[in-house]
Amino acid sequence: MSTTLKKTVEPSAGEIAALAVLNALPHPVVMIDAEGHIAEANDAAQNFFQASAAFMRRHALSYFIPFGSPLLELIGQVRERQAPVSEYRVDIGSPRIGGEKIVDIYAAPMVERPGDVVVMLQERTMADKIDRQLTHRGAARTVTGLAAMLAHEIKNPLSGIRGAAQLLEQSVEDDDRALTRLITDEADRIVKLVDRMEVFSDERPIERSAVNIHTVLDHVKRLAQSGFARNIKISEEYDPSLPPVLANRDQLIQVFLNLVKNATEALGDQPDAEIVLTTAYRPGVRLSVPGSRDKVTLPMEFCVRDNGPGVPEDLLPHLFDPFVTTKTNGSGLGLALVAKIVRDHGGVVECESQPRKTTFRVLMPAYAAGQKPLS
């Protein structure tokens, strides 16, 4: 009786290299066979579909995406035309992979494997992060020039107006004294507004070091609950294994204090008002840092989430622009300052909002051991 040994086929060096290249991509890439099943999936795809490669190979692509999804039609077009097809801003979200998932789709035929199609997905949130970063830089430059102009053209005349009002107060009747005090108070208010704007023109190098984000958030929580958020529940969802972030501690406190204050004001007197502070490690987002040709990974994710009414949809694209506010007496500089500080740290800030769930998300670089703090 003879025994036949089954030879295990080892992947070639070329196949190993190709797989390494696919896994290095930050975008989900899947190969769909002629029957519509998932044949291969890179690391980013496994993270996107929230399933291992082994699990994905046992299912058709239709198992993960909504019934009748445009993605299935695009794959059919690729097979029919034997040519690449692209589609932008397609929602392929489903209960299995999470809520709304807006992606750009790039699909192409596998010439050497008839019927097979390679699909790459680019989440719009990534492209939007880059767009927002550029928008924040432009907004900050606008406020910088405006602040310099206001400091000279407004603060000096205001000083004279205030002085004149104080002199008038000494000689007018009691009925008119309220008007002179109003002039003085309004002059002081405008000066404070200009002072806040002058922060945007401060281009001095930032002193940065390894900062434990949890000590920053705990400090912000104590400040908030001892003052403006004393009647609001603030809870934490922290990743205890998170590495330090490369940042300026005082400026981080300013960022998250502004975000928590913003959430508190949005909640108002809501009886079940709650703010949640979260931290997580999310590798994959890479952006250019101002003044450098290198790209950095922004794996550190810090969020301030509230269960308030949400931000009006038409306001979301302009939320971090200066002078944009939903508050009656707001200056519209708080979130613009947050965007400037995060930008100066080489990071990104964004907002996702719907009723009962508004999330301000800050993405920043981690501190690497032996890394020299930037200045």
Separation of alpha carbons 19 and 41, rounded Å: 9
Nearest partner of 224 among 216, 239, 364, judged by Cα:
216
- Phi, psi (degrees; rounded to nearest 5) at 122: -120, 115
Nearest partner of 218 among 260, 246, 247, 248, judged by Cα:
260
Separation of alpha carbons 228 and 225, rounded Å: 7
Look at residue 220 in the predicted model and tell me its pLDDT.
Answer: 92
Look at residue 33 in the predicted model and tell me its pLDDT.
Answer: 92
Number of helices (H) and strands (E) in the chain: give both, helices first: 10, 14
Look at residue 275 in the predicted model and tell me its pLDDT.
Answer: 95
Q: Between vectors from CA 319 to CA 313 and to CA 325, what angle results, nearest 5°?
A: 95
Length of the chain measured in residues: 375
Separation of alpha carbons 211 and 215, rounded Å: 8
Look at residue 313 in the predicted model and tell me its pLDDT.
Answer: 81
For residue 178 the two structure tokens come to 């309220």
For residue 258 the two structure tokens come to 């502004």
Own/partner pairs for 318-327, CB < 8 Å, 24+ apart?
Answer: 319/351, 320/132, 320/135, 320/136, 320/139, 320/349, 320/351, 321/135, 321/139, 322/139, 322/142, 322/143, 322/146, 322/200, 327/265
Look at residue 8 in the predicted model and tell me its pLDDT.
Answer: 45
Separation of alpha carbons 304 and 59, rounded Å: 36
Find out whether 349 and 368 touch, Cβ atoms under 8 Å: no
| Complete domains list, the chain, with CATH | 15-123 (3.30.450.20), 127-201 (1.10.287), 209-364 (3.30.565.10)
Blockwise average pLDDT, block size 10, the chain, 375 residues: 46 65 81 91 87 90 85 88 83 74 85 88 64 54 57 69 84 81 80 63 72 94 89 93 89 91 90 93 60 64 93 80 60 76 85 90 79 46
Specify which residues 122 forms β-bridges with: 104
* Amino acid at site 16: I
* All residues at 6 or more sequence positions from 97 whose CB lies less than 8 Å from its CB, including other chains: 48, 49, 50, 64, 65
pTM score over 0.85: no
For residue 236 the two structure tokens come to 């934490």
